[in-house]
């Protein structure tokens, strides 16, 4: 009887270790990269329902006025999905995942239909039920001018009290 218990513990341990190996940071990073790529494809495919499926119920999309909640984001973005041609596209360039595997960040370029880079997006993904990645925070900004940085002013000593 005791040997059966030891075998059961051994089988459980091997399973747990192999599951952990499958969930390495690299594997999780790739999951998020694929999720972001599929999320971007919803725009190219003109599939608003698929877009909404990537949103967490608690999603916040930053803009002039933050959009709070899945329903608000879905409604505000509906117009971007009208018409035959996508008004913009995006793709992940950098993806990072917390060691806990619970949160991730993806960021990359946003393009106009002409192919000109018009901005940069940043999405925060949360791993939810059944291992699904959903967007909880999203923001965008104009493309950065990554030329030579401006020279910082030379600090001046504070005048000494008299």
Question: Tens of pLDDT along 91-111?
Answer: 999 999 999 999 999 999 999
In this structure, is residue 10 part of a structural domain?
A: no
pLDDT in the model for residue 88? 97
Query: Count of CB atoms within 10 A of residue 68's CB?
Result: 12
Tell me the pairing of strands 55-61 and 133-141.
parallel
In this structure, is residue 3 part of a structural domain?
A: no
pLDDT in the model for residue 72? 98
In this structure, is residue 19 part of a structural domain?
A: no
pLDDT under 70 in the chain at which residues?
Answer: 1-22, 144-162
Rg (CA), the chain: 23
> What's the total number of domains in the chain?
1
Question: Can you tell me the distance from the alpha carbon of 96 to that of 1, in angstroms, rounded to the nearest whole number?
Answer: 47
pLDDT in the model for residue 8? 41
pLDDT in the model for residue 5? 46
In this structure, is residue 67 part of a structural domain?
A: yes
CATH number at residue 61: 3.10.450.50
The pTM of the full predicted model, rounded to 2 decimals, is 0.75
Longest dimension (CA), the chain: 89
In this structure, is residue 54 part of a structural domain?
A: yes
In this structure, is residue 105 part of a structural domain?
A: yes
pLDDT in the model for residue 128? 96
pLDDT in the model for residue 23? 84
In this structure, is residue 101 part of a structural domain?
A: yes
Query: Count of CB atoms within 10 A of residue 42's CB?
Result: 19
Q: Which domain holds residue 74?
A: 24-141
Q: Up-side HSE of residue 11: CA atoms within 13 Å toward CB?
A: 6
Q: Which of the 8 DSSP states describes residue 55? A: E
In this structure, is residue 100 part of a structural domain?
A: yes
């Amino acid at each position: 009887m005791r040997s059966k218990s030891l075998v059961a513990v051994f089988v459980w341990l091997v399973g747990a270790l192999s599951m952990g190996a499958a969930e390495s940071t690299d594997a999780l990073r790739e999951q998020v990269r694929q999720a972001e790529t599929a999320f971007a494809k919803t725009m190219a495919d003109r599939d608003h329902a698929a877009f909404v499926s990537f949103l967490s119920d608690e999603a916040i999309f930053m803009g002039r006025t933050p959009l709070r909640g899945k329903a608000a984001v879905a409604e505000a973005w509906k117009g971007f999905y009208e018409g035959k041609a996508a008004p913009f596209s995006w793709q992940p360039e950098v993806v990072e995942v917390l060691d806990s595997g619970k949160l991730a960040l993806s960021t990359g370029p946003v393009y106009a239909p002409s192919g000109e880079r018009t901005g940069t997006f940043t999405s925060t993904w949360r791993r939810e039920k059944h291992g699904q990645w959903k967007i909880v925070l999203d923001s965008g900004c104009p493309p950065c001018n990554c030329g030579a940085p401006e020279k910082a002013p030379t600090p001046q000593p504070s005048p000494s009290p008299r």
